[in-house]
Amino acid sequence: MKTDKSYIQGIGVSLGTAIGKAFVLKKNNAALIGKSLETKEEITIEIEKFDVAVKSSVAEIETIKNYILPTSTPEAAEILETQIELLQDPEIRECVLQKINEEKKSANDALLETIHSFVELFKNMNDEYMSARSADVQDIGNRILKNLNHSTEKESIKFEPGSIIIADDIPPSDILSIDLSQIAGIATCNGSKTSHASIIAKSKNIPAVAGCGNDLLQINNADTIILDGIKGYVIINPDENIITEYTKLKDNYIKKRMMLQSLKDVAPITTDGRQIKLTANISNSDDLDVMFENGGEGVGLFRTELLFMNRDSFPTEEEQFDFYKKVALKSKNKPVIIRTIDIGGDKQVSYFGLPMEQNPFLGYRAIRICLDRKDIFIAQLKAILRASIFGNLKIMFPMIANAQELRAAKEILTEAKNELIKSNIKFDEKIQVGIMIEIPAAAIAADILAKEADFFSIGTNDLIQYTLAVDRMNDKIKDLYDPFNPAVLRLIQNSIEQAHKHNIHVGMCGEMASDPLATLLLLGMGLDEFSMSAASIPDVKNCIITNSFANASAITKKVMEIDDSKKIITYLKEIIS
């Protein structure tokens, strides 16, 4: 049959691409019986029938659980636990019993109505996650119902290996009773990112598209389907060209994912046992998902500018608090370094009322604005402090050039703390305070600053441009912008050495931290933490786990003896090839 609409747009809920034959899952609809109970005996029998049906349902899920347990992900086992709790939920039983006892309804009808009302309740909750729970309630309802009506139909669903499952929605217990290793992909009319079926698909790396709507129902068994879990497309009976294109996409994606997967849970430790911290640079709480997916261990740089840019007025302390709290809650207690406002330079914001400057990068920016506009600074610090009880937050000041600035910033932080104490608001009293090393003065005087900071984070982007007097936006001189310039390397090395001499942690959050060419050199200098965009973590990790710290130190020693950055780059390229 020729389909009238061969491209269907849904929501990509599990990444990847699949090509295969469609297998359409049909569902059976339950119906009301409408019979009214007459005697006490009938009532007792219906209640008993209900209780037995619940017991059998629990037993079924237990069986599925034991069957899949040896190979399942923790997510799958937890979803089944939830199902068991829901099946035995006292609220459901109470509702059903009331309908049987007082309204004289059959167990079948009482259950149908009860489930329907709970499903509607969840559907109408103003929250994507909670609305998705309606499918779970429907699922346990269907299961009890099936047992209530003594249906003995076998549960196993048979299909060709490599099929793409097409369904209205896939209830959690169904998706778990299907042999997932035989499925190439899943597409559903309903559902969302937080449907249990989507979570399972994601944990098993099965590409899936949900929320395709009823257009999906035109698909017949054995139609050829392409499923794009990244863009959220379902393509029905595509031509050869599209199939070839997608086959290529699929292979690339699988290759990349295999590498990610194999490294995700590997700790970044060198072959001779030096443990490194690999963290992510983020701008909001959504970025944390990618951080965890790539095996990141926290956040080395949380830029707060996003909250201040693209708007007409200052965000309130409350707004800021919500923004930081979201990140704190989602970070699963992993350390998160929040950098205070870094506006100015290339990041202009109209309502700050900053005058035009001859040299914005050398002008009124970042901590310089904050020390001058205490009102702005103190609102941000209070918001961060208030959020600090929800996770493991640290504060970092950007653009520190001397110890006086650090002291002044810390004094304002103390003021912010005192204001909170006065209002009886809790915060992490031991919150760590560190600085960015991005002005050459700070790198040179690292010994002085290390005495008063809890940690350093080297910001190479600015450090390089200030050290070499090169505007990194200027195309004509962009070749002069050179991370491997011996002067830059000396500043980085001094910052790391001084930090360690004073027993403080030192990380790097600039581009250089994500460059595999620089990994061994920085490792050899003794850098404790590499923070980068999350997607780069596996590459850097790969470099760390396949080398020794001793070897890296020897490489660093050699590099520091070379006087020409071109030769340094050639040498480093030779080593990693």
Partner 1 sequence: MITKDYVILAAEGMHARPATALVKLTKKFKSSFSLKKDEKIIKLNSMLNILSMGAKGGETISVIIEGEDELLASEALDEFFNEQLKNL
The answer to the question of residue 329 lying near partner 1 (CB under 8 A) is yes
Number of residues forming the site for partner 1 (CB under 8 A): 30
Least CB distance to partner 1 at residue 134 (A): 10
Q: How far is the CB of 287 from partner 1 (least distance, A)?
A: 13
Q: What string of DSSP letters covers 264-289?
A: HTS--B-TT--B-EEEEEESSTTHHH
**How many Å apart are CA 502 and CA 450, to the nearest integer?**
6
3-class DSSP state of 102: coil
- Whether 196 is catalytic is yes
* Residue 12, SS3 per DSSP: strand
Give the span between the Cα atoms of 339 and 394, in whole angstroms. 9
DSSP 8-state symbol, 34: -
* Of the residues 49, 65, 303, 330, which one makes contact with partner 1 according to CB under 8 A: 330
Q: Which is nearer to partner 1, 134 or 190 (CB)?
A: 134
Instruction: Using the minimum distance from each CB to partner 1, give the nearer residue, 291 or 491.
Output: 291
Q: Using the rule CB under 8 A, is 505 a contact of partner 1? A: no
Using DSSP's 3-state secondary structure scheme, residue 553 falls into: helix
Q: Report, in Å, the least distance between residue 375 CB and partner 1.
A: 26
Closest CA to 186 of 197, 194, 195, 176: 197
169: which DSSP letter? -
Complex with partner 1: residue 120 or 357, whichever CB lies closer: 120
Sheet holding 208-210, edge to edge: 7-9, 233-236, 224-228, 17-24, 163-167, 183-188, 208-210, 11-14
Which residue lies nearer to partner 1 by CB, 81 or 346? Answer: 81
Q: Please report whether residue 290 would count as binding partner 1 according to CB under 8 A.
A: no
d(CA 278, CA 519): 11
Backbone angles phi, psi at 146, to 5 degrees: -60, -40
Identify whether the C-beta of residue 242 lies closer than 8 Å to the C-beta of residue 235: yes
Report the residue number, 323 or 456, with the smaller CB distance to partner 1.
323
- Rounded to the nearest whole angstrom, what is the least distance from the CB of residue 70 to partner 1 in the complex? 21
Told to check if 427 binds partner 1 by CB under 8 A, we report no
Q: Which is nearer to partner 1, 323 or 530 (CB)?
A: 323
Which DSSP letter does residue 8 get?
A: E
The correct pick among 23, 122, 377, 484 for binding partner 1 (CB under 8 A) is 122
Catalytic residue among 189, 212, 509, 543: 509
30 binds partner 1 (CB under 8 A): no
| Member of 11, 30, 68, 130 binding partner 1 (CB under 8 A) | 130
Nearest to 495 by CA among 522, 532, 456: 456
Q: How buried is 318 (Cβ within 10 angstroms: 0-12 exposed, 13-18 middle, 19+ buried)? A: exposed
20-28, 129-137, 146-154, 451-459 -> range binding partner 1 (CB under 8 A): 129-137
CB 202 → partner 1: shortest distance, Å? 15
For 99, the token pair is: 């309908």
Classify 324 as helix, strand or coil. Answer: helix
Question: Which residue bears the tokens 């600035």?
Answer: 405
- Shortest Cβ distance from residue 333 to partner 1 (Å)? 5
Contacting partner 1 (CB under 8 A), which of 333, 404, 414, 570?
Answer: 333
Contacts of partner 1 in 384-423 (CB under 8 A): 389-391
User: CB-wise, 81 or 251, nearer to partner 1?
Assistant: 81
Q: Which stretch binds partner 1 (CB under 8 A): 64-72, 128-136, 253-261, 563-571?
A: 128-136
293 CB neighbour count, 10 Å cutoff: 16
Query: Cα-flanking dihedrals φ and ψ of residue 151, to 5°?
Result: -65, 125
Our finding on whether 127 is near partner 1 (CB under 8 A) is yes
Of the pair 85, 411, the CB lying nearest partner 1 is at 85
Of 302 and 390, nearer to partner 1 (C-beta) is 390
Instruction: Give me the least distance between CB of 129 and partner 1, in Å please.
Output: 6
Amino acid identity of residue 15, one-letter, is L
Q: Tell me which of 196, 212, 370, 543 is the catalytic residue.
A: 196
Which residues between 132 and 191 bind partner 1 (CB under 8 A)? Answer: 133, 136-137
Find how far residue 471's CA is from the centre of its chain: 34
Of positions 33, 121, 259, 576, contacts partner 1 by CB under 8 A: 121
> What span, in angstroms and rounded, lies between the C-alpha atoms of 6 and 236?
5
Task: Tell me the C-alpha distance between 50 and 100, whole Å.
Answer: 10
Task: At 452, give phi and psi (nearest 5°).
Answer: -120, 0
* Residue list 41-100, contact with partner 1 (CB under 8 A): 78-79, 81-82, 85-86, 89-92
Asked if 284 is part of the footprint of partner 1 (rule: CB under 8 A), the reply reads no
Active site residues: 196, 509
Query: Which residues lie near partner 1 (CB under 8 A)?
Result: 78-79, 81-82, 85-86, 89-92, 118, 121-122, 125, 127, 129-130, 133, 136-137, 285, 325-326, 329-330, 332-333, 389-391
